Amino acid sequence: MCLLLAFFVILSSVAGISNIKNYYNVGQKQPKEITQLPGLDGKPISKQFSGYVTVDKRHDRSLFYWVVHSERDVNNDPVVLWLTGGPGCSSMDAFIYEHGPFKFSFKGGDDGADIVLEENPYSWSKVATMIYVDSPAGTGLSYSRKPQDYSTDNERTVEDLYSFLVELFTMMPELSYQGFYIAGESYGGVYVPLLASKILNMSRSQRGMPINLRGYMTGNGVTDDVIESAGQLEFAYGMGLIDPLTFHRVQEDCKGNYWDVDSDSACALSLKKAYDIFYWVNPYDTLLDCYLSAQKDEDKMTHSAHKDVVNTLSWKAQLGHTVPCANRRVALKWLSLPEVRQAIHAVPVQELSWQPCSDILNYTINTPVSMINTHKELLHAGLSALVYSGDHDFIIPFTATRTWVYGMGLHELSPYSAWKVDDQVAGFTVSFTSGLTFATIKGAGHMAPQTNPKETLHLISRFLDEFR
C-alpha cells in the first residue's frame, strides 16, 4: 500500500505519541492472548496473541504485533511474518482487508453503525501461523516516546524488525522451531529481502538467534525503480489506458529513461500528458472504481499529486498519506473503538490514533531502489521465493516484475503456463531451478489477497506446502 510516501512530521501528533505511558509493554515476558473481540460472536477459531515488543528500551520504541495460530496444524505448519509496505502503512490493513482470520463488515450494509466479524474462509492462517507487525515505529499502532525516531530509513527499520523477531521468538519459542517465511507487498518488496538478508548474515556470524528461515514471498513488491517506471508505461499502453500516439511520443521524448527526469524536459511534459488521459482510473486496481471519501481528497489529488508527475512513482499516494481510491471506513472505525484497543492490548485511542498509512514518518529512501542483487544472493543461499503480481496493478505492474525476474538469467524448471483454481485459469506461472517461482494473479490489483482471496490463498498454500 501507499507506495513511496513523502512523509513529514506533524508536531501535534508527535507530541501526543511522545507522552504515551510505557507500561503497555516494558518488561512483558509472556504473550497476551486475545480471548474476545468486539463484533465477533464467540472465540477466535485458533489462538491469537497481541501486544508490543520493545525494540529500543531507551526510547521505548515499540512495535505492535498480532499473532494468529495456524488453524490446520499449529505444531507443524510454517510461520509467516507479514510486512505491509508504504513505507509507513499498517499491517492491520492487510489483517482486516486481505488475509486475516476475519471478514469485517458493517451490520446492515455500508451505512450501518456496528461492525461484524465473521470467519474468513481464505485467511492465510488456514495454512500458516501468521505474524502481523506494524513497522516502523510511527506506523499503525506502533510508537516511540522519542519523536526523532519517526525520522528513519531502511537500515533501522530492518534492525528493529530483527530485534522484534528475536524478542518475539524468546517470548514464544515454539514459533522459532517451524519453517519461517517473510512476506509482504508494495514497499514490502524492499523490507522482505533486506530482512531475509539480515537474518542470514546474523546466522552466518553466529551472533544471532537461530531462525529457521526457509523462504520469502513478495506481492506486487517494489524491486527496481528504473524497471518499474518503464513497466508502468508498458502496462498503460498494453491495457489501453493510453493511445499509440501518446505511447510513442513518450518513448521518443524520454529515450528509455522514465525515472527521475528533469521537470522542464520534454519527457516530463509527455509523461504528464500520458497520465492525464487515465487520471481518474484507480491505479491500484484498474478494474475497480475509485473511492473518494470527500471533495477535499479530490482537491488534494488535483493540487498536489497531479502537479508532480516528473517521477512516475511520485504521484501515487498523495491523498493525505492514505491510499487513493481505497475505502478504509471499517478499519478506521473498528481500530478506534476503546473496547477493541483493550481487547488487543493496544495503546488507548486517546493516546494514539490509527491510520492506514502514517502521517508522522519522515522516511529516507535512497533512490533509485534496486533489490535485484539481494534476490540473487538470497536464492544463491538456498532460500525459496514466491514473487506474485496482480495483473491489473499500475503501481507495481506485472510487466515490470516480469522484466526483472527474467532479467536475472535463471534456468527454467517448469515453463510459463496457466495455473488453475476450480478448473478455471487463475493466472500464469513459471518456476526456476534457483527456487524462485513467479506468478501472475488474473484480475487482481496491487493488494491481490483483497480482490482475489481464494486464488491468492491457493497460490501461497501450494508454495508453502512444497517446502513444508
| Catalytic residue set | 186, 393, 446
Rounded CA gap, 33 and 46, in Å? 11
Q: Which three cell numbers stand for residue 29?
A: 515476558
CB burial class (10 A; 0-12, 13-18, 19+) of residue 41? exposed
Strand segments, DSSP code E, in 125-283 are: 129-133, 151-153, 180-186, 213-221
Residues 6+ apart with CB under 8 A from 350: none
Q: Identify whether 38 is preceded by a cis peptide bond (ω within 30 of 0).
A: no
CA 418 to chain centre: 26
Residues 6+ positions from 155 with CB-CB distance below 8 Å: none
DSSP H helices, 77-222, are 91-94, 154-171, 188-205
| 45 backbone dihedrals φ, ψ, rounded to 5° | -60, -45
Q: Return phi, psi of residue 132, to 5°.
A: -105, 130
3-state SS assignment for residue 116 = strand
User: What is the rounded CA–CA span in Å between residue 421 and residue 122?
Assistant: 13
